[in-house]
Amino acid sequence: MGAMNESGLTHIDERGQANMVDVAGKAVTTRRAVAESQIRMQPETLSAIENNAIGKGEVLATARIAGIQGAKRCADLIPLCHPLPLTKVAVQFDVRPPDTLVIQAECRVEGKTGVEMEALTAATVAALTIYDMCKAVDRGMVITRTRLLHKSGGKSGTWEAQR
């Protein structure tokens, strides 16, 4: 049931081996998580993204779809994550001139385990997609500050990051 071992880690069994947590006995609740990732770039790159002037196409539309797909495929990428029937994935962008783009991803599920990893994966995959689409004009972009902002639902309740 996701019981912690003496180290306090739920994904490590009593022998110290990695395992997938058994969530069978947990209650189904509405669970929500919000994560963000930031990508810094040259001001000209940010302007080109805003003006749809990147040769590969519409960067933000493509990154939004990639983030949604990333959340849906999280269990295929992170070995001990449970596959979840997500009820919502939303990816939004906040342009912060002169050189920063903030990606925020929200995931929801009616389930027995949280969606933090799905939200973090969505934000990260969206940032990686932006890098991929813009690398021809700016290889020096830096993906930074990927973090959980909010989680709610489940036995542990609500958690908010300090801003």
Sequence spans of domains, the chain? 29-160
At residue 133, the pLDDT reads: 98
As given in the structure block, the two tokens for residue 79 are 């070995």
d(CA 10, CA 117): 15
d(CA 42, CA 29): 43
Model confidence pLDDT, tens digit, residues 38-68? 999 999 999 999 999 999 999 999 999 999 9
φ, ψ for residue 150, nearest 5 deg: -155, 145
CATH fourth-level superfamily of 29-160: Molybdopterin cofactor biosynthesis C (MoaC) domain (3.30.70.640)
d(CA 74, CA 87): 14
What is the mean predicted confidence (pLDDT) over 154-158? 92
Catalytic residue annotation: 132
Pairing of β 142-152 and β 29-40: antiparallel
Long-range contacts of 54-58 (CB under 8 A, 24+ apart): 54/133, 54/134, 54/137, 55/136, 56/132, 56/133, 56/134, 56/136, 57/133
Give percent above pLDDT 70 in the chain. 92
The answer to whether residue 2 scores a pLDDT higher than 60 is no
φ, ψ for residue 96, nearest 5 deg: -120, 90
CA distances from 63 to 36, 71, 150, 151, 157 (A): 13, 12, 21, 23, 30
The answer to whether residue 141 scores a pLDDT higher than 80 is yes
d(CA 65, CA 126): 8
Tokens 């209650």, residue? 27
At residue 5, the pLDDT reads: 46
Model confidence pLDDT, tens digit, residues 68-113? 999 999 999 999 999 999 999 999 999 999 999 999 999 999 999 9
pLDDT tier, 1 (very low <50, low <70, confident <90, very high otherwise) = very low
The answer to whether residue 9 scores a pLDDT higher than 60 is no
At residue 21, the pLDDT reads: 80
Other CB atoms within 10 A of residue 10 CB: 16
